[in-house]
Chains A and B, each alone.
Chain A
Amino acid sequence: MADLLVTEGLTKRYGGLVANDGVAMQLAAGEIRGLIGPNGAGKTTFVNVVTGIERPDGGEVMLGGAPITGLGAHEIAERGLVRSFQVARVFGNLTVHENLMVPYFACDRTQGTAGALARASELLKLSTLEPLTHDLAKSLSGGQRMLLQACAGFMIPDVRVHVLDEPFAGINPVVKDTLIDLILHENRTHGAAFLIVSHEMEIIRRICPRVTVMIAGRVAAEGPLDEIARREDVITAYLGRSFQ
């Protein structure tokens, strides 16, 4: 499979701190990849730089062979690279339904409302948010907000890569399962690739055939989780003890 999302030598500094130090990574089309690493390893920085929230100090990001380095976040979203945030960013004073309409129409106003409505109702069913369709998003629980945020990302037409930053942090097991099903469904039916930052090793093992480990701003290892979890350098830097 051709690599869909490629970063080369991606570097981001904050003053003297090098948060990302020449990160090179390739994500294939349709792949579900885990991105793990200890706190402060630069995972969120990497996500921010790749998705245009912050500008890199060096290096390049390519999506489908075209450079997207330094583009604005909305331009990157329109090109089919969409992200979610660790703390779900939903529009509190809009209804759940309106929350889904924003990304759809922001990225494609040519297809009309019929497609948007059909897609929204499909996602609301899958995410179990359907009964809350006309509630304001601020009345949702933390987990439901995470689901809504993920669905909002799925609303953007023709997304090729979803980058999810800690989607499973602090939400209850039932919502976690719903979210996993959603991710797998989107992956299967639309062929969307996922890059999932998470500390939830069980989930990562279940849905990500391969993981990338970041340590101190660099890619330290890449491969199947169980293989990587046996590597000495990863264990010392990240897990501190033998995993399993």
Chain B
Amino acid sequence: MFSAELFTQTLIAGLMIGVLYALMALGITFIYSIVRMINWAMGEFYMLGSYIQYVVVAHALGRDLWWLAVIISTAGTFLVGYLLQPILIKPMYARAMERRDDYATVVTIALLLMLRSLAVVIGGPNQFRPETNLPVMWVGPLPMEGARVAASVCALLALGVFYLVISRTWIGLALRAMAQNRVAAQTSGVDVFRLDAMAFAIGVALAGLAGALLAPLFLVYPTNGAVATVKGFEIIVIGGLGSIPGALIGGLLLGVVESLGAGFISSSYQNAYGFLLVLLVLLVRPYGLFGERGREA
């Protein structure tokens, strides 16, 4: 049953979902690079993004303005991240303390539980689905849900915007400097605590964007971020922690491997193929495809 056409279609489908995986992974790796901590609540910001998308589409804008709702969801997640970081994470960093990244990481686990419980309290254990006005689209010979195509295109756009911000703006330059040497950035006059909050907010906003874009496909419920978190960290292991190209390539790779596995072997093991990939990468390059063995101070 192998045909070149089917292979191409599966590949395209894999790349399309891979872009969204990359978005999640990019958020994780970005926060790690700047704030030096693992944010385990990434999936919950994905969840937050999907809930905002649902509420805005269902109760305010309607399905024709789904794209505006996506922008609102992303901005909303950004804002929540920007406001939460100084309260929950900054106290660990503001004073010299040993193993502060560990404390910060534990705080994000608490945040994970809090946000999930909050979703249950507010929306109940129900599943929601925001509507979209997008018809089925043809990607080459392949029929695709419109929302899926739109999600990939929007994710690509977001990656482009992210790249521009990081490479072309003053904030991007300061963030890159901070990722390499926090103390030197500080003595250069960079307000590292403000940029911590900014980086955290940008990172979680990427997750929120993924949640908003995928809400019509993977639905909205309190634990929908769990899968997103797992995929995000799979990619981080594949690509290497702290590496932005690693997050992008790893995301695409995971999408393609899952898609091909589901298409040509068996779709019931779709989530297992990614872990096989992780094992393989770990055997060959334990620090990930683009990870560094050590970082230069």
In the assembled complex, which residues on chain B have CB atoms less than 8 Å from the CB atom of A74? 186-192
B98 at the binding interface (Cβ < 8 Å): no
User: Do B184 and A90 touch (CB < 8 A)?
Assistant: yes
Given A74-B190, A102-B190, A89–B184 Cβ distance below 8 Å? Answer: yes
Task: Give which listed residue, A53, A94, A103, contacts B176 with CB less than 8 A.
Answer: A94
Say how far B167's CB is from chain A's closest CB, in angstroms. Answer: 10
Task: Give which listed residue, B181, B186, B191, contacts A90 with CB less than 8 A.
Answer: B181
In the assembled complex, which residues on chain A have CB atoms less than 8 Å from the CB atom of B181? 89-92
In the assembled complex, which residues on chain A have CB atoms less than 8 Å from the CB atom of B185? 91, 102, 106
Count contacts on A: residues with CB < 8 A to the other chain.
30
The main secondary structure of chain B at its interface with chain A is: helix
A177, B148: Cα distance in complex, Å: 63
User: Do B186 and A73 touch (CB < 8 A)?
Assistant: yes
In the assembled complex, which residues on chain A have CB atoms less than 8 Å from the CB atom of B186? 72-74, 77
User: Do B187 and A105 touch (CB < 8 A)?
Assistant: no
Task: Give which listed residue, B173, B191, B193, contacts A102 with CB less than 8 A.
Answer: B173
In the assembled complex, which residues on chain A have CB atoms less than 8 Å from the CB atom of B189? 74, 77-78, 82, 103, 106-107, 156
User: Do B170 and A138 touch (CB < 8 A)?
Assistant: no
List residues 70-126 of chain A with CB under 8 A from any CB of chain B: 72-75, 77-78, 82-83, 85, 89-94, 98-99, 101-103, 105-107, 109
User: Do B187 and A102 touch (CB < 8 A)?
Assistant: no
Say how far B182's CB is from chain A's closest CB, in angstroms. Answer: 10
A240, B185: Cα distance in complex, Å: 39
Task: Point out which of A72, A74, A152 has the most chain B C-beta atoms below 10 A from its C-beta.
Answer: A74
In the assembled complex, which residues on chain A have CB atoms less than 8 Å from the CB atom of B192? 74
In the assembled complex, which residues on chain B have CB atoms less than 8 Å from the CB atom of A72? 186, 191, 193
B residues lining the A interface (CB < 8 Å): 96, 170, 173-174, 176-177, 180-181, 183-193, 296-297
Cβ contacts A to B, 10 pairs, < 8 Å: A74-B188, A74-B192, A89-B183, A89-B187, A91-B180, A92-B181, A93-B180, A102-B190, A105-B173, A106-B174
